[in-house]
Structures are given as structure tokens and as C-alpha cells.
Structure 1
Amino acid sequence: MPDRIDRAEATQHAARAATPEGAEPAFLVAMIWGYGPVGYGAWRTARVLAENPHAIDRLAEVARVARDDGGLAAFRVMADEPLRYLGVAFGTKYLRFVTAAQSSGHAVAPILDAVVRRWLLAHHGLRLNIDEWRPEAYERYVELLTSWSAELGLTADTVEQLIFRSAISQEGSAFWGEEWAKSAEPPPPARRAQAALLEIEGLLDTADPRVALEARGHLDELARIVQRGWAT
């Protein structure tokens, strides 16, 4: 593996994900890209593979559906029988690279993670529940990005990337960025607070869905308080 993994590198490794032999490296690279240097990334990824019988076969099946029928169909298949400990935030990262790598005429499945979800809530008033694999929520998200992409002359995947970059530039995050640049200057208090909130939200992927849903409401309110507190 290279020292830096970007979207292009992860897409390249997903080209053979429709086979069990290709699904495993595709999934691992997608998780490496998603977690970056976060210390618990390797443990959480290993847990998905270790505690789901035939996890690799299941990932290959999802990749085949994505290749033949598109990302929405693959999301529905995953929702029918989710892999334990693989939530929507990181599961859609796998779907993104699988659909981007397999040129079958279908659109690239956009990522829906905590960073994008929080941006949509703050800037569009759209609250999406991603504590479980809910096809209706993902379809609503894809429809919104598709409408924006038509207005902008971009792909839905590119719109998601712009949202992600906007959220990172506004909030700052040492956990969910694509550029792992280090600076001698400490980040401002607002960025540290937002990064902490995002870390907690990411950890909710492993919580009971009912507890996670209640917690996210409190986290959203804390985010608004943080934004108001340092904006004045």
C-alpha cells in the first residue's frame, strides 16, 4: 500500500470486489481510507470480518448487485441482512468505491457518513437517521444529491465530496478528513469541540439503535450550541 490512500487508490482496489478474492482487499482499503490514522480503525474493521460468518462472501454479493443493479439496490440488499458492526457511514464508503470501480453504467453511490449528515442538518434542515440501514433515508439522500448535481452540472458523488470538504473546512476534524496534515498550531476551541462531537457520533455506530438515535439528538443540539457560542 502507498503512504497516502486517496479516493482514486481505493477505487482501484475495488475493481475485483465482485469476487471473494477481490472483496476482501477492496473492503480493507475502503476502511483504511475511511478511518485514516484513528487508532481503533483496525480493531473495528477486524471485528466486522471476524464476527460475521461468510462476511467476505456477503461483501462480494453486495458488490455484484452494485455492479448489475446500482448502488441503491446494493444498499437495499445490505439492509436486508446487515453485517454486524458495519454501519451506514462506513458501509457506504465500501459501496462508493465498488460502484466507482465497476463501469456498468450506474451512478457512483455517494457516501453518507456523520460529517455529511451533520452538514445536511445544519445547512438544509434535513435530518437523516443512519443508525440503521434504512433504504428510504438513503434514497432520499441520493435523490437530493441527484437534483443538486443536475443544477450544478456535476455528479452526485462530486456533490458529496464538496459537502464533505465544506464540513471539514468549517468544523475541522482530526478524525474524518482526507488530508492528514499536521500543524504546530493547536486548532481553535470550536474545531476541537466539533472534532470531539464527530468522534462520539462515529462511535455510535456500534451502539443500540434506540440509544444512538437519542444520543444523536443531543449531539445535534450540542453542535448548535458550539456554533453559536464561538460565532458571537
Structure 2
Amino acid sequence: MPTTDLALPGWAIPAQSRAIAVAQHTISIRTQWWNHAITSRGLPGTPPAGDRLSRAEVWSAADDVFTLLWRALAWGSGHYLRNNTRRLDSIRDETALIKDVLTEARELSRHNPAAAYTLLRPVQRNVIPWLGPAFFTKFLYFAGGGAPEHPCLILDSVVAMALRDHAGWKSLPTGNWSAQTYQRYCDLLARWARRHGRAADELERALFRGRPKDLTFPAA
């Protein structure tokens, strides 16, 4: 369906500043697990430190693709470590190749979301085993280093369901998106963001958080 017909829910227009709602969006992580899992496999990059990780702290690792990946994975996983052992094993087995892929994806993420997405998932197959769209779009987003105009955004099932249920994008799947769909999603949020004088990741964060209970907002 045409995304030009979709309306941003009024509750998804952020009330707080980006510095608070986005940069300080913090997740509790399993630091000890990540430290052991990364170092015991001899993987490059620096494991996340501390038992909590903010978006701003993940952004700060954008210059090193493996440190960035570990932080993005830890932030995205929180206390739930499902599939991370398999992810790290697959990376250990092809470290040099994966470094090249991540480096290219990081560069593409800064100007071409569809190309960056396609690099990591061509023909409905993940290039890095066990690293699917809900996680690798976090890498593509954080690769922007916190720049408000960075074109790649996080897309996961929670955000997709919010767009389906509250913004009218009924045809949007809750997973296994195509590169074209990802590009349309990034373009949609960027268009809404310009209309409201916000950064697109502020809207992604609001959609992920969801509609406040027992409040009614007009469509924006």
C-alpha cells in the first residue's frame, strides 16, 4: 500500500527532547556474559562494559565495527541471550569476511538504507548466520554515530506492529522484510520527522515504546 496515505499517531510525536528520549534510552545488559563470550572466542573489538548501556554509548563505538556490533547486540538483547551463542560462533568462523561485510554495511548505512540492508540480507538470506533484520538494522542505525539525519533506523516486530495497528500500514510484515520495504519504512519516518521538526529515530523510539495507556491522541 502507498505509505503516503499513512498518518503518524498523535501519541508518537515525542514530548521529551531527543537527548533524553533517545540518547538516554538505556537497557540493562548481561555484561559478564558478553565479556566472556567475546574474549573466550578471541573475537576482535571491545566487549561492552557496565551493567547498563544507553543508545549514546552504542553510538560512540561507530568507528570500530566489531565493538559497535557487540554493543548493538548487547543493547538489543538486554537480559535475553537467545541465539547469541550461535551468532558469535558464526562470526568467529568467518571473522575476516564478516569484518569486510560490516565495514561496507556501515558505509552504505550513511546514504543508502536499501543497499546496506541488501548487503546483509540478499535474497531473503542472512549473510551473517543468526544475525537477522531485527538485529542488523540496529547495527545499521547505530553506525550513524548518533547523527540525527542518519537515514537507517531500527526495525523490529514491535515497531512494525505499531505501524500496522496505529498508523494504518496493514501490509507491513512483522519480520523478514525486503530491502525495498526497509527503505520505504526509513523514508516514511524521515518524512514524518521533517513534518514535525524531529529526528526520525525519535519517532522510531516512540513507536517502540507504544501508545500510553488510557490516553487518546488525534492522528498527526
Once the 2 structures are TM-superposed, how far is the Cα of residue 72 of structure 1 from its aligned partner?
A: 3.6
When normalised by structure 1's length, the TM-score is 0.60
**Segment drifting more, 142-151 vs 91-100:** 142-151
Q: 1:132: which partner in 2? A: 176
Alignment-derived partner of residue 196 in structure 2 = 152
Q: Which has the higher helix share?
A: 1
CA distance change for structure 1 residues 129 and 98 in 2, over 3 Å: closer, same or farther?
same
- SS of aligned partner of 1:5: strand
Change (3 A) 1:83 1:130: farther
Distance (Å, rounded) in 1 between the aligned partners of 2:207 and 2:144 = 20
Shift of residue 71, structure 1, vs aligned partner: 3.3
Say whether the 8 Å CA contact 1:99–1:107 is kept in structure 2: yes
Which has the bigger relative contact order, CA under 8 A and spacing at least 6? Answer: 2
Q: Structure 1 residues 115 and 51 mapped into 2: Cα distance closer, same or farther (>3 Å)?
A: farther
Which 4+ stretches in 1 moved above 6 angstroms?
Answer: none
- The code of the aligned residue for 1:165 comes to R
Q: Secondary structure at the match of 1:31?
A: helix
Using the TM superposition, give the Cα deviation of residue 57 of structure 1 relative to its aligned residue in structure 2, in angstroms: 2.2
Contact kept, 8 Å, 2:72 with 2:142, in 1: the verdict is yes
CA contact (8 A) 1:48 1:84 kept: yes
Structure 2, gaps ≥5 residues long: 1-48, 214-220
Kept after mapping to 2: 8 A contact 1:96/1:110: yes
SS in 2 for 1:10: helix
How far off its partner does 1:73 sit?
3.1
Asked whether 1:118 is paired with 2:147, we answer no
Superposition map of 1:19-58 within 5 A: 22-40=64-82, 42-50=84-92, 52=94, 54-58=97-101
- TM-superposed CA distance for 1:95, in Å, is 0.4
Measured after TM superposition, the shift of residue 75 of structure 1 is 1.9
Tell me the amino acid that sits aligned with residue 120 of structure 1: L
Match of 1:75 in 2: 117
Contact 2:113 2:183 in 1 (8 A): no
1:69-115 C-alpha deviation (Å, 9 max, x unpaired): 343432233233732221111010000000235x6x95241100011
3-state DSSP of counterpart to 1:94: helix
Tell me if the contact between 2:72 and 2:139 (Cα under 8 Å) persists in the aligned partners: yes
Does the 8 A contact of 1:88 with 1:130 survive in 2? no
Q: Secondary structure at 2:121's aligned position in 1?
A: helix
Number of residue pairs the alignment of both structures matches: 160
2:60 matched residue in structure 1: 12
The 1:115/1:52 distance shift into structure 2, 3 A limit, reads: farther
CA RMSD of aligned residues (A): 2.5
